[in-house]
Amino acid sequence: MIRLCAAAICLIAAAVAWSHSGPHSPKPLQPPAISPGSFGKGDPVPNRVDSETGLTTGGIGYAWSVTSVGSLTAVLSGIVGASSWSDPESLAPDEGTTRASSWVALNLQFPSLVTVRLSRASNVPDPLGLLPGDTGGGDLRPAFTIYSGWQESGADETVYPTRSAIPWAPALSYHSHIGDEGDGLVETTVELPAGKYSIALGGIGAPGFDAGRQGYEARFTTLSRALPASVLTKGKRFKTTKKKFRLTGRFLNPESAAFVAIQQNKETKFLAARGRNWVANLTGLKPGVNTIYITAISLDGKISSRKKVTITRK
């Protein structure tokens, strides 16, 4: 089960403070919906068996993929092995079982504050069919490890170190881990640069706890640290003798820009951002002074201060 929500999916015009100080003041913006990213089942590089060698390629078998563009919250649920992250009674308590854990491929488009919360859940169906049976128990002692990078080539192995680098996954670098101390919930918040990350979700075995498959609920929250986009124009006052005019400018922080909004004659056009520069082909200029307002809308929903230009048609 997946639930996806984001502060930037729906921007409400009433929440945007605009000045209305004169007859040419623009109406509040109602920009198009901006997706904060995507989240769901799937492996960015699905594993396959090489027909010639018989070896498995594709690296780690990721159960989930998430791409965060703005700020999003996603909740997912599934099942893992009770001792998939660690079995304290084994000869290698710092090793997890690769295919009994649930791996998440996280792709951050911008530096972000990331919170991962993993808790036990009862009667959870296995949405991925990774483990036999219909549902997982509610006795999980949750734990997870964060690694930088994705392992997209080679074959995975039976076990993986949960507290250090993985020898058979050279594309990954160990970042951090957290394990349950008995209350059935673990959570951490970390600042992460833009890039790819692998998160291994699993459980810690313990005497008195159910040793079978266990249900989990994982909540991922990302808060974009991207600098908001804003706009510049090549001048503030222009003159023309025609009804049409080509208005040009550029973005500050163009990697954050989603749209440029052009407000003219109480109407607004939203132009998708494509690179550092923007172009607006204006029509319907009236004789005299035409007032134009330009605004940048960022991928995480932030709206910049507006720029005012005038075009005088003689």
**Bigger pLDDT: 44 vs 162:** 162
Say if residue 12's pLDDT is above 60. no
H or E segment and range at residue 128? none
CA 131 to the chain's CA centroid: 27
What is the C-alpha separation between 142 and 78, in angstroms, rounded? Answer: 12
CA–CA separation, 120 and 42 (whole Å)? 22
**What ranges do the domains of the chain cover?**
37-224, 226-313
Look up the pTM and report it. 0.79
Determine contact, residues 50/57, Cβ cutoff 8 Å. yes
pLDDT tens column, 72-127: 888 888 999 999 999 988 888 999 999 999 999 999 999 999 999 999 998 888 87
Residue 304 has pLDDT above 90, yes or no: yes
Which architecture characterizes domain 226-313 according to CATH? Sandwich (2.60)
34-38, 219-223, 287-291, 296-300: which range is least confident on average?
34-38
| Residue 15, pLDDT above cutoff 60 | no
- Please indicate whether residue 14 or residue 143 has the higher confidence score (pLDDT): 143
More confident residue, 294 or 17: 294
Q: How far apart are CA 57 and CA 69, in angstroms?
A: 29
Do 41 and 4 meet the contact criterion of CB atoms below 8 Å apart? no
User: Mean pLDDT across the stretch 267-278?
Assistant: 93
Q: May I ask the CATH class of domain 37-224?
A: mainly beta
